Structures are given as C-alpha cells and as structure tokens.
Amino acid sequence: MKKRFFGILLAVVMMLGVCSFTACGGGDVYKVGVIQLVTHDALDAATQGFVDALKDELGEDNVEIEIQNAANSTDTCATIAGSFVTKNVDLIMANATPALQAAYNATTTIPILGTSVTEYGVALGIDNFSGTVGGNVSGTSDLANLDKQAQMIIDLFPDADTVGLLYCSAEANSDYQVQKVEEYLEARDITCERYEFSDSNDVATVAGQAAAQSDVIYIPTDNTAASCAETIYGATGTTPIIAGEAGICSGCGVATLSISYYDLGYQTGLMAAQILTGEKDISTMSIAYAPQETKKYNADICDDLGIDTSWLESLGYVALD
C-alpha cells in the first residue's frame, strides 16, 4: 500500500515538473517575436492589439512574447529578425513594412505575419499580387481606400488647385499610396507635386517647401512622417493637411480616413493563434484588411485654421479620440 502511495505521489510530482515547462491545460508555451519598426501611436496600438489577441486566444501562460523596437532603422530590423531566427521562435510578427522585409529575408521556415503593411506586393516585390503571399508569410494591411482619401481633399477644399504629396522616399508603400492619390486627383484636373524627404533630418525643410507651394498637403500612411508629425505641423503653418491615418492626423492633420490599428493588430493576433495551434496553414492565408474605415477630424488643428467642425460633422466626420 505504501509503495502504491509513493508511486502516485511520484507521478504527481513528475506532472508538476512537466507543468513548469509547459502551460498546464494549454499545451506548449509558444515563443513569439515582435519586430516593431518605430514608436508611434499607430504601430504601438497594433502591437498591443496583437499581444492582447494572442493572450485572449491562447492564455497568458501559454505564450511568451518578446517585443523589440528597431528605432526606425532597417539595419536594426534585420538584426532583430536574425536574433529571432537564432532563438528559433515559433512565429514572428513584423510591424511595418521594413520589419516585414527584414523577417522575410531572414527565414523561409518560421511563420511571419505582417501588420501595418500597406501593400504586400510592393513590400515584397511580388508582381501581379493576388492577395496571398504563400510560403511562410501572411498578415494584415492598413490600406484605407485611397480614392476616398483623395476625394476628401476635393470635398473639404474644393478651391484647391495644387496638392503637395509629402512622404518619405525610403518607404515603398508611401510611394504606392502617393501614386494612387496622384492619379485620382490629376484625372480631376488638380495639379500634384511630390515632396520627398529622406529621413527625419530633412522633414521640416521639405514640409516647409510643400506648404509654400501647395494649397493642401496630403501625407500617406508613412512611418517616418508619423514619428515627425509635430515637426511637420510646425513647418507647414496654415496649409491644411489630409493624412493617411489617425496618428499622423493627430499631430499635423485636419482630417483622415482612419482605421483602428488596435483592431488591425488584434486581427493579426487571431491569425497568429490559428497558425500556432495548427488550425490554419499560413501558406494559404490571404492578406486581411481592417473591417472598418472612419472619417475623423482634428478639432485643435481645425480651430487653428478656422475650419468649422460642425460642418465636418454634418459630412459624417467624428473627432479624433
């Protein structure tokens, strides 16, 4: 009888030992690495949504998430991606296009999910992109309807003859958005001029040039612009700005057609949970998009520029949070 008791006790101890290395009731502990390009509101919200979704789906004890910020350096993105490959993480989440490109170049076997990436075909050099990357890559896109963004310029500033397109030349997805907006506006006889800055060092100078020569400025979803939004506002004076996303709009814009980056990140986290548990095969997962777009205005900047916010609300705009 004593032998049987000690045998049962030993089995319990062994089970507890196993549970110290795996998540009891939840299987293995999944290791997930997050590469975030830079700190700004949109990317921060996407990362938080991703983390929350993974924990909600898998349980806090069943997932270990390591978040690394590249401080807007593509070289650092590559270093972080390499470290995650060395650590043999179970999945990499790449937040923003340069982070996705770094992860894509670092591994062909570890699943990679992008988020806050505008156009995957452009980002990864895929011609005639069908909506599914294949291989070990999928994710979510932050692309809002570009025709609707361009139409906002016409609706809010009908007397505008010249639109300055302000963006970072190092961001391929920014160039893609600018091209689409430019095509839409020029088809309606509005003159567009491109103003490219290379990094944060020349953003104020280029923004000032755009303001001096434009009736309205358009800034696409652009990570460098987002991290320098207040600087841009200081350089553009009374020239109104339509922004590609809410984070830029909160710093320098009059209005935006916005998505929720938290919701986008959360959707990416749900995809990650499906991949990690084997429910879905990443090679067949199509790129997903934000479920909702909202027209928003920046009340403080509207007041500064003398724009009637009640008129904007009559057009269906809501104030930024």
Summarised one tens digit per residue, pLDDT across range 219-266 is 999 999 999 999 999 999 999 999 999 999 999 999 999 899 999 999
The C-alpha atoms of residue 184 and residue 126 are separated, in whole angstroms, by: 24
Which whole number is the average pLDDT over 137-146? Answer: 94
113 near 93, Cβ under 8 Å?
yes
CB atoms within 10 A of CB 56: 13
Q: Where are the domains of the chain?
A: 28-142+261-289, 146-258+294-319
Give the percent of the chain with pLDDT over 70.
92
pLDDT, one tens digit per residue, over 307-319 is: 999 999 999 999 9
Model confidence at 40: pLDDT above 60? yes
pLDDT, one tens digit per residue, over 266-289 is: 999 999 999 999 999 999 999 999
Which whole number is the average pLDDT over 294-314? Answer: 97
The amino acid sitting at 317 is Y
* 27 — pLDDT class (breaks 50, 70, 90): low
Nearest to 116 by CA among 222, 253, 33, 200: 222
Mean pLDDT score of the chain: 91
* 126 — pLDDT class (breaks 50, 70, 90): very high
Radius of gyration of the chain (CA): 23
Whether 28-142+261-289 shares its CATH topology with 146-258+294-319 is answered: yes
The amino acid sitting at 105 is N
Q: What fold does the segment set 28-142+261-289 form as a domain? A: Rossmann fold (3.40.50)
As given in the structure block, the two tokens for residue 90 are 């179970």
The C-alpha atoms of residue 272 and residue 266 are separated, in whole angstroms, by: 10
The dihedral through the CA atoms of 114, 120, 125, 131 has a sign that is positive
φ/ψ of residue 288, rounded to 5:
-105, 155
As separate numbers, helices (DSSP H) first and strands (DSSP E) second, the chain gives 14, 13
Nearest to 261 by CA among 44, 100, 38, 114: 44
The dihedral through the CA atoms of 207, 98, 65, 62 has a sign that is positive
Give the percent of the chain with pLDDT over 90.
86
pTM exceeding 0.75: yes
Model confidence at 150: pLDDT above 60? yes
Overall CATH class of domain 146-258+294-319: alpha beta
233 near 301, Cβ under 8 Å?
yes
* 20 — pLDDT class (breaks 50, 70, 90): very low
